[in-house]
Structure 1
Amino acid sequence: MKETETGSSDLTPLLADADSLENQSPRGLASVSGAVFNICTTMVGAGIMSIPATVKVLGIIPGFAVMFMIAVLVDITVEFLLRYTQSGKSTTYAGLMAESFGSLGSLAVQICVMVTNLGCLIIYLIIIGDVLCGNESGGTLHLGVLQEWFGIQWWNSRAYVILFVVLFVMLPLVFLPHMNSLRHSSAISILLAVVFIAISSAMAIYAFWKGKTQNMRLLPDFANQVSIFDLFTTVPVLVTGFGFHVNIHPIRSELSRPSDMSYAVRISLAISIAIYFSIGFFGYMLFGESIMSDILVNFDQNSDSAIGQLVNNTVRLSYAMHLALVFPVINFSLRTNIDELLFAKKPVLAKDKSRFTILTCLLLALTYTIAIVIPNIWYFFQFLGSTTVVCLSFIFPGAIVLRDVHGISRRKDKVMAILVIIMAILTSMIAIATNLWTVG
């Protein structure tokens, strides 16, 4: 074997690199399949329930076209981030922005991540509470699954049930120090989403067989119900669904070959498009124009048969469990960004057990407290979340390309970055203005 000038073999640095990577991820190097599960779980969260309503507004053909277009744009912006990560020295999204725009750029990313992810986690707990414990809206009391089964008891009230879920389902998962450790729970989460789609599609096909399905529109109904501005309100919903940019760096850092990240992203986008379009198509086919902005409300109905009630409860419970397993993946990037903001000069969070434990417990306690105290915070985070997700998914990656601190952007990259930023800003402004006008 050829010796180097220092007398060591050429194999030595390779072994050292492998040991270094292994120390970063004690459970072993992450696989592409594990990365795919975690990326898909990030995308297929609470947004899946709003997809049928967006298909109702857009129509089936434009609905699929918009989903595909957003997925393509997401793939482009992810490639922007991966390319500049490879050329630079930073291993985090905030660090990548710091290389281009200094501390203000880093702070902007961290604030957007905190608003978006904390809002998502709170909303997840609120939805889980609604499913299990019920809620009251418009003067109407909707019973949760536990209340339907056991009646209204002190132990199946919202505070106790969510506390039980937090302590015995979420706490063990959020204490896992590496993203790759969540691959199994992420796989189960995706499986539960597929179960939800399977049940919905079976119900839709059965209704079609009985001649009870609703008429579906292939194109938007501009003549009666839909205005051109309503179409823009669907884009932030889909962008939020496809937004996983905050988890790119944690997942990439644990891959045995970081270059596999692009491959994992494209597989994940294809799976997510299939999941979104399936639930959009069959949900719209099943409920038609009566589809609610959250399809879960359509399943929250009393059925005339025991089998129908069982199906409704199965759908609701599988979705609640799905969100409980998405929770730790979203929490991971939130915790990482908060730690990077507050303890930038400290060792890696996973290696500091006391700091890791304290930060994890504080975040979980804060999320639980807000979900219990302010159960109607949904609309507040819906507006903020739409804005911050658009920044993280499109505006910030485009700005990095235009800044081009490493001199690697081609002309077509800069043209695409400009188009993406303009589209994101205009779409968000119109969507927010339309929503405010509707609420007002």
Structure 2
Amino acid sequence: MTTEGLPSENLSAVSSLARPQLGYPVDERTPLLPSKKQDLIEEPDDGYHQASFTSAVFNLSTTIVGAGIMALPATMKVLGLPLGLLTIVICGILTDKSIEFLIRFSQPCKARSYGGLMADSFGKPGRTLTQLFIIINNVGVLIVYLIIIGDVLSGARGSDAAHTGLFVEWAGGPTWWNGRAFVLAATMLCILLPLACFRHVDSLKHSSALSVGLAVVFVVITSVVAIKKLFDGTIDAPRLLPDVYDQSSFWRLFTVVPVMVTAYICHHNLHPIANEMKGSSEAEIHRVSRASILLCSMIYVATALFGYLLFGEKTASDILSNFDTDLNVPYSKLLCGIIRISYAIHIMLVFPLLNFSLRLNLDALLFPKAKALAEDTRRFSILTAVIIASVFIGSTLVPNIWVAFEFTGATATVCLGFIFPGLIALRDNSNIATSRDKWLALIMVVVAVISSVSAITTNIFDLFATVDSDQPKNLHGIYSYLSVRR
């Protein structure tokens, strides 16, 4: 049998057929003909493979550093500084391992998406459930991002706090052009829609680099101000241990876990980014994920440490709201303005990356047999328009949707980040998992399930409980901040 002239991807198939004749062992589980499960796994390829290592790192890092960064200082108030920082590091390590599971187990079955990998392990139900969870998670986060942009630029009013928007401050009061509806519509049409229309995630590499840079700007300003006040002796001693005084306060510690998972979630964009890389080998993709997680972990540790040191027990669930006040340092108003506008721009640049994976999964769910989305202009345009319109309507007409988001952080996000990767390793369809992998996967799933159930239960009780206004009812990142909006 000769293999001359055959495409490289067919060589492995020919080799496997020739093995019995050559005396090599054969994996009896490998089918000689395509199966229905293989049809679920195989997905169209638009042929674009030009992304570099650097662009992949920036895109994955931007996916990670979203709104969750602003909730991390508040977790220090719940866990105490040493345990809080340790939790960030441990969560980063576990995230790295969960992504490694996705990378390793995608190679044998040639899965090009998270849903395709779940289809290999659990068939069509696994694929459909993964796609639905990604859609739920991303739609919710995109609506929240748009609400944040509206709050920063136009302001927000609530029963407990008022936040004056930057445009309102600059204009000296409300006008037609700084009204919330106009600002959101202009932002969607002029910034978010054009960014959402790129066919390939690699096209967002420059905006992603800027987004990461803006996150670093926030860290630098916060750390410099905190260090100055530390030397001035105007910073109170930080909490070193969690404040556990009864059973309820103990279980509330677990509500921090969904915050950490939300802060690190990027699993839904791993495959789209990897698919566009030049020679996307398992080792190269893992290098990208590890570099991204290391970069983001450094940003997270600095944000949590200096943000909590700066505001102490007054740290809000969303630290951005702390920058509405005087920092008692020179150029305080200017620094607060820079932080708020840079964060708003950062969110705008994260938006298209989440939109990208949302659009791919929505398309795969609705049109599983269609050709690659990037090659179908009509389908691409319709899905993009539907998503943008839905997110805009959700952000303007459903302002109290934060209640639902509190629970998606402890369900869909935890499943995508920890539970599903752990179950894939435990299922081990490709028979490549070591005993260490399975033990780690089991621990990952058990801890995630316990934390998720505890967080959901605590949130349900908190909805009907009266607590001290200085203590947030929950810590699901930016969503807690949105609870003060009318």
Give the Å deviation of 1:84.
1.4
2:207 to 185, 189, 203: 185
Tell me which residue corresponds to 1:352: 376
SS of aligned partner of 2:157:
strand
Tell me which residue corresponds to 2:154: 133
Please, which moves more after superposition, 258-267 or 428-437?
A: 428-437
Give the Å deviation of 1:254.
1.0
Distance 2:95 2:337 in 1: 34
Structure 1 runs not aligned, ≥5 long: 15-20
Tell me which residue corresponds to 1:74: 95
Give the Å deviation of 1:225.
12
SS of aligned partner of 1:405:
coil
Distance 2:250 2:3 in 1: 70
| One-letter amino acid of the counterpart of residue 212, structure 2 | I
1:251 aligned to 2:273? Answer: yes
SS of aligned partner of 1:361:
helix
1:98 aligned to 2:119? Answer: yes
| One-letter amino acid of the counterpart of residue 343, structure 2 | Y
Tell me which residue corresponds to 1:418: 442
Give the Å deviation of 1:294.
0.5
1:24 aligned to 2:21? Answer: no
TM-score (norm 1): 0.92
| One-letter amino acid of the counterpart of residue 317, structure 1 | I
Query: CA offsets per residue over residues 401-421 of structure 1, 9 Å max, x none?
Result: 222222222222222221111
Distance 1:305 1:401 in 2: 51
Distance 1:196 1:409 in 2: 40
Give the Å deviation of 1:302.
5.6
Query: CA offsets per residue over residues 253-282 of structure 1, 9 Å max, x none?
Result: 111132211011111111111101101111
Distance 1:7 1:422 in 2: 50
Tell me which residue corresponds to 2:346: 322
Distance 2:334 2:89 in 1: 34
Tell me which residue corresponds to 1:18: none
Give the Å deviation of 1:435.
2.3
Tell me which residue corresponds to 1:202: 224
Give the Å deviation of 1:217.
2.3
Query: Structure 1's 399 and 6: CA in aligned 2 closer, same or farther, altered over 3 A?
Result: closer
Tell me which residue corresponds to 2:401: 377
Query: Structure 1's 228 and 6: CA in aligned 2 closer, same or farther, altered over 3 A?
Result: closer
Give the Å deviation of 1:214.
2.1
Query: Structure 1's 156 and 363: CA in aligned 2 closer, same or farther, altered over 3 A?
Result: same
1:239 to 255, 258, 261: 261
Distance 1:127 1:328 in 2: 15
Distance 2:439 2:98 in 1: 13
TM-score (norm 2): 0.84
Checking the alignment, whether the CA contact within 8 Å between 1:115 and 1:385 is kept in structure 2 is: no
Checking the alignment, whether the CA contact within 8 Å between 2:258 and 2:409 is kept in structure 1 is: no
Larger helix share, 1 or 2: 1
Distance 1:71 1:337 in 2: 25
| One-letter amino acid of the counterpart of residue 93, structure 2 | V
Give the Å deviation of 1:313.
1.4
Checking the alignment, whether the CA contact within 8 Å between 2:407 and 2:456 is kept in structure 1 is: yes
SS of aligned partner of 2:331:
helix
Tell me which residue corresponds to 1:152: 174
Query: Structure 1's 387 and 5: CA in aligned 2 closer, same or farther, altered over 3 A?
Result: closer
Please, which moves more after superposition, 112-121 or 399-408?
A: 399-408
Checking the alignment, whether the CA contact within 8 Å between 1:236 and 1:428 is kept in structure 2 is: yes
SS of aligned partner of 1:336:
helix
Identity of aligned residues (%): 44
| One-letter amino acid of the counterpart of residue 268, structure 1 | S
1:390 to 392, 414, 425: 414
Q: CA RMSD in A?
A: 2.3
SS of aligned partner of 1:229:
helix
Query: CA offsets per residue over residues 150-189 of structure 1, 9 Å max, x none?
Result: 1201221111101111111111111111111111111100
Checking the alignment, whether the CA contact within 8 Å between 1:85 and 1:91 is kept in structure 2 is: yes
Distance 2:258 2:457 in 1: 12
Give the Å deviation of 1:90.
2.2
Checking the alignment, whether the CA contact within 8 Å between 1:52 and 1:280 is kept in structure 2 is: yes
Tell me which residue corresponds to 1:214: 236
Give the Å deviation of 1:208.
1.6
Give the Å deviation of 1:323.
0.2
Distance 1:131 1:432 in 2: 29
2:191 to 169, 182, 191: 169
